[in-house]
């Protein structure tokens, strides 16, 4: 069954815990869809997390360094606006480095790190506890893409959700609003969000950022097939696929796909699919926003933007938004 490299499929979500039956059903359904896709949350197993760390060091990948420069330049003001002593909830925490860079300024009363890769997350938090023993810390390996409820050990007071890296772009705009509404429901009237949102920019810059010369992004994308083999018992031959990343200007999003380089049949327990050369599996979207649209998205979701910090050279926004009282 043919799928196109300009597929309209829009994978949702950015992280997951892998309950075996649920994951198998999810993957079986997405691989069997008219236009095959794999949720981008499956990019982030232990190896995928390490590959993404490497991507963040690439000269082509501007989001990490641009956002870091905003935090460095405006960190003191961000702390004044967001306030000290909050319950800092880091969504898609990875190696926790972004949040840790703000600890001296934000001085959180509790740090809650949430990520797909539980093993990777616990290792990172173990190192962080040694550096900041005065901060209470919790590691949560959980799926926050479809539903979101924090456990009792997370302080209810002054919850500040930290969602950097423009990960919100992995959702379609409608999914992003639904996701942000779930956050609003968990933060009370004294909570808020500190979020990084990538803004629209030149296509050449975006194409290079998601298809780098060294091929690290390609390895990151291809690794999802290895992960699916492990989770689903599939027999994807990674050598039979290649990475394809590009900016779709009509949809204001970067798309990542895996393209079959030869005809093949992939099997897994309870299912199979034939791919012909040129068929694609859609693995990720990254929507790019106009600044005004980003503010409207937050407002529709129950947050009011209180301050916006941007980079003068590379369009990117860090926004603090307060929960609108209900």
CB 290 within 8 A of CB 273: no
pLDDT in tens, 161-191: 999 999 999 999 999 999 999 999 999 899 9
User: Look-up: residue for tokens 């890769």?
Assistant: 117
Average pLDDT rounded to a whole number, residues 63-67: 95
**Domain spans in the chain, listed from the N-terminal domain onward:** 26-60+203-287, 62-200+289-323
pLDDT band at residue 158 using 50, 70 and 90 as cut-offs = very high
* H and E: helices and strands count for the chain: 9, 12
Which residue spans within the chain are E strands per DSSP? 87-91, 110-115, 136-141, 159-163, 192-198, 241-248, 253-260, 264-268, 271-275, 280-287, 303-310, 316-323
pLDDT at 286: 97
pLDDT at 12: 36
Query: CB under 8 Å to 277, separation ≥6 — which residues?
Result: 260, 261, 262, 263
β-partners of residue 260 are: 241
Model pTM above 0.85: yes
Please count the other Cβ atoms lying within 10 Å of the Cβ belonging to residue 189: 11
Average pLDDT rounded to a whole number, residues 293-322: 96
Which residue spans within 61-126 are E strands per DSSP? 87-91, 110-115
pLDDT in tens, 234-266: 999 999 999 999 999 999 999 999 999 999 999
Q: How far apart are the C-alpha atoms of 239 and 261, rounded to whole Å? A: 9
State the number of CA atoms in the 13 A half-sphere of 68 facing the CB.
Answer: 11
Please count the other Cβ atoms lying within 10 Å of the Cβ belonging to residue 131: 9
- Phi, then psi, of 114 in degrees rounded to 5: -120, 130
DSSP, res 252: T
Query: CB under 8 Å to 322, separation ≥6 — which residues?
Result: 191, 192, 303, 304, 306
pLDDT at 19: 55
CB 307 within 8 A of CB 81: yes
CB 2 within 8 A of CB 33: no
CB 297 within 8 A of CB 177: yes
What rounded mean pLDDT belongs to the chain? 91
The CATH code for residues 62-200+289-323 is 3.40.50.150
∠ CA 140-170-235, rounded to 5°: 80
CB 283 within 8 A of CB 37: yes
């Amino acid at each position: 069954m043919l799928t196109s490299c300009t597929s309209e499929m829009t994978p949702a979500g950015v992280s997951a815990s892998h309950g075996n039956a649920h994951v198998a059903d999810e993957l079986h359904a997405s691989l069997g869809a008219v236009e095959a896709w794999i949720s981008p949350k499956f990019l982030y197993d232990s190896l995928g997390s390490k590959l993404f760390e490497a991507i963040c060091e690439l000269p082509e990948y501007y989001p990490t360094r641009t956002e870091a420069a905003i935090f460095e330049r405006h960190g003191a003001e961000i702390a004044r606006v967001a306030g000290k002593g909050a319950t800092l909830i880091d969504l898609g925490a990875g190696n926790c480095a972004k949040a840790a860079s703000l600890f001296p300024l934000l001085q959180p009363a509790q740090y809650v790190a949430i990520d797909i890769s539980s093993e990777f997350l616990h290792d990172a938090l173990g190192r962080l506890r040694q550096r900041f023993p005065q901060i209470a810390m919790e590691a949560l390996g959980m799926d926050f893409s479809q539903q979101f409820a924090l456990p009792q050990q997370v302080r209810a007071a002054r919850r500040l959700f930290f969602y950097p890296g423009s990960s919100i772009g992995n959702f379609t705009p409608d999914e992003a609003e639904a996701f942000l509404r779930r956050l609003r429901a968990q933060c009370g009237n004294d909570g808020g969000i500190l979020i990084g949102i990538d803004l629209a920019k030149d296509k050449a810059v975006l194409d290079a950022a998601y298809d780098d010369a060294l091929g690290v992004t390609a390895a990151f994308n291809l690794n999802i097939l290895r992960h699916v083999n492990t989770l689903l018992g599939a027999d994807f031959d990674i050598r039979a696929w290649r990475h394809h990343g590009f900016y779709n200007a009509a949809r204001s999003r970067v798309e990542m796909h895996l393209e079959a380089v030869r005809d093949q049949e992939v099997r897994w327990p309870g299912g199979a699919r034939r791919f012909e050369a040129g068929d694609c599996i859609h693995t990720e979207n990254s929507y790019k926003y106009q600044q005004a649209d980003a503010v409207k998205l937050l407002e529709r979701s129950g947050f009011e933007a209180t301050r916006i910090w941007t980079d003068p050279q590379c369009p990117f926004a860090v926004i603090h938004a307060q929960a609108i009282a209900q």
